[in-house]
Chain A
Amino acid sequence: AQSVTQLGSHVSVSEGALVLLRCNYSSSVPPYLFWYVQYPNQGLQLLLKYTSAATLVKGINGFEAEFKKSETSFHLTKPSAHMSDAAEYFCAVSPYNQGGKLIFGQGTELSVKP
């Protein structure tokens, strides 16, 4: 079964610092991976997705993620954090042959200090 694991339920960075949110996947077939962001009391918004084209994927709001097969990872990064980046971030995988449903990681809450 395909799954994702997010390391660290809470990450705190200073404004302007590098953001690194970790996601590792488990899959016996090429995975399709997603990063979503959830702001308080809102639904999920897609940041970026990996669908087996380029391994470095650029998303919205300055975020990017790199698919590394050797490390089974798809970590999310942003060079310089803004206060507005404070939110919950979810990594997800779309399992093979299951109609596009998403299996989510546990989520990582990002706090940004002034």
Chain B
Amino acid sequence: GEEVAQTPKHLVRGEGQKAKLYCAPIKGHSYVFWYQQVLKNEFKFLISFQNENVFDETGMPKERFSAKCLPNSPCSLEIQATKLEDSAVYFCASSQSGQRTDTQYFGPGTRLTVL
């Protein structure tokens, strides 16, 4: 597709429940990035993929967060045992080649609320 698609738009979970977010990158883009936006600002990089391979996971809280990009499937970001501080908007972005000069195209985000 021509746009990055993210589902669901909103997700509400009780503390301790699992949350799973999905992202379909733009067709032909090899790189996928996940960012977390807390409190309307503060974008934090979480993880990036080159096709189905993890490229950079330095931003991932490893204990509860995991992510995958499998062939012919949307990419996913999963949070096991959600905590209140996981409440945020999670954005997915894709780019063609992962080079520093590449434009990243962002999806509309998934708003996760943990109660």
Instruction: List the interface of chain A (C-beta within 8 A of B).
Output: 9, 32, 34, 36, 41-46, 49, 51, 88, 90, 92, 94-96, 98-104, 106-107
Contact = CB atoms under 8 A, between A and B. Distances in A.
Given A43-B106, A49-B101, A51-B101, A101 B56 contact: yes
Given A88-B40, A100-B104, A43 B91 contact: yes
Contacts of B95: 100
- Interface size classification for chain B: 20 to 34
A23 to B, nearest CB: 14
Interface of B: 4, 31, 33, 35, 40-43, 45, 48, 50, 55-56, 91, 93, 95, 97-109
A90 to B, nearest CB: 7
Contacts of B105: 46
A103 B100 CA distance: 11
Contacts of B31: 99-100
